[in-house]
Structures are given as C-alpha cells and as structure tokens.
A and B are shown apart, each in its own frame.
Chain A
Amino acid sequence: NAGVTQTPKFQVLKTGQSMTLQCAQDMNHEYMSWYRQDPGMGLRLIHYSVGAGITDQGEVPNGYNVSRSTTEDFPLRLLSAAPSQTSVYFCASTLANEQFFGPGTRLTVL
C-alpha cells in the first residue's frame, strides 16, 4: 500500500512551458485534492474531485486544469507556466474526513 504518490519530486520550467504533475493513490478514496504551499500562506486549495469524472475549483484555480478519469489518478496540468506558479504542490486523498498527503512536488518557474 503506497498511499499517495506524486511525481516528479522536483521540476524546473521556463515561462510558457506546460507540464503535468502526477498524483496517484491506491487506497480507493473517492475524494482527492491539489494544494499549493507558499511561505506564510499555508496550503491553498487549487482543485478537488469527489469521484471519477467530477472535479471542481478550489480557492486558487486560475492557470491550472485537472481531470479525473479514474479513481486512482488525479493529474494537475499547467498549460502555460508563470513565475507566480513557483511553489510546492501537494496532492491529498480523503477518507472519513481525514486527508492523506503525498510527499509534494517542488516546482520552479523561471
């Protein structure tokens, strides 16, 4: 049981490039979410999903897209990276009101 996994651990992008942050969980949790963590701002919700085929926006969704084709996977896409998206990104899955976090992806946009 690997829990919540995220890839890559680190990524450097140039402004305007696109990429996908991967998130997978093997606990069969319906609810998954993406957060970004910035110094002094805690974790802010980007997008979340309550099950396969269902996604919704969180607090800071602009510049990010998500999809949920399977229960296991919840990728986060940056279509045109901007320096303001430099952050640490965490994926989480939820069961019985308790969240389980992945190890994070540290993204730098130059």
Chain B
Amino acid sequence: AQSVTQPDIHITVSEGASLELRCNYSYGATPYLFWYVQSPGQGLQLLLKYFSGDTLVQGIKGFEAEFKRSQSSFNLRKPSVHWSDAAEYFCAVHLTSGTYKYIFGTGTRLKVLA
C-alpha cells in the first residue's frame, strides 16, 4: 500500500544550525512530492513541490528539498534555521495513477532553541 513515512516525530535544533527533515514514500512510480508547514493553530502552507526535472527544488523561506529516486526519499533542508521556523512539517505525495488522492506523513515537530 502507498505510504509516507516521516521517521522523526520531534526534532530540536539551535537557531543558526542546519536542518534536515526526512521523508520516505512507498509507491510503485514517482509521485508528485510536497512539503507543507503548519504553525500552531494555523492551516497548511506549501513550502515546495517536486513534479519532475531537477531533483533539487527550492521553496519559500529558504527551504530546499532533494528527491532521490533510489532511496524513495524527499528530504527537506535549510542551511540556517531561524526561531520563526518552529512549526510542524508535513511531507505529502500525490499519486499519479489517475486518482486525485494525496497521502500525508504523520509530521515532524520542529523546536528551535535560541
């Protein structure tokens, strides 16, 4: 069955440190891939997306993600974290097999230490 795994439930980093959030998916083909961010009490905001082409994609707020087909991964990175990046991050896939269904990971909550 198709699935999305975010193995880290919580991550704590110091402000200014680099960040990598992991995402792995299980699907027979290459899906469309997304990262969303959710601040407390808010809706989901799209950070970046991958449909095809260059496997390193740039998003908003200084985030980037790299698609690695061999590892079925789409990890999110940021070279220097700001205190305002504290939030919950969700990886999602859109299955490209003729359906409109999206599957979300369970999320990673990021805490930033001053």
Contact = CB atoms under 8 A, between A and B. Distances in A.
Interface string B32-70: 101010000011111001010000000000000000000
A48 B99 CA distance: 11
A31 B43 contact: no
Contact of B106 (A31, A40, A94, A97): A40
Contacts of A40: 9, 106-107
A32 B44 CA distance: 15
A59 to B, nearest CB: 8
A90 B36 CA distance: 14
B90 interface: yes
Contact of A102 (B9, B43, B51, B105): B43
* Chain A at the B interface: SS class: strand
B102 interface: yes
A2 interface: no
Contact of B101 (A42, A58, A98, A102): A58
B49 A98 contact: yes
Say which size band chain B's interface belongs to: 20 to 34
Given A42-B90, A42-B105, A101 B44 contact: yes
Interface in A66-94: 90, 94
Interface of B: 4, 9, 32, 34, 36, 42-46, 49, 51, 90, 92, 94, 100-102, 104-107
Interface of A: 31, 33, 35, 40-45, 48, 50, 58, 90, 94, 97-99, 101-104
22 contacts: A33-B100, A33-B102, A40-B106, A42-B4, A42-B105, A42-B106, A42-B107, A43-B104, A44-B104, A45-B101, A45-B102, A58-B101, A90-B44, A97-B49, A97-B94, A98-B34, A98-B49, A101-B36, A101-B43, A101-B44, A103-B42, A104-B43
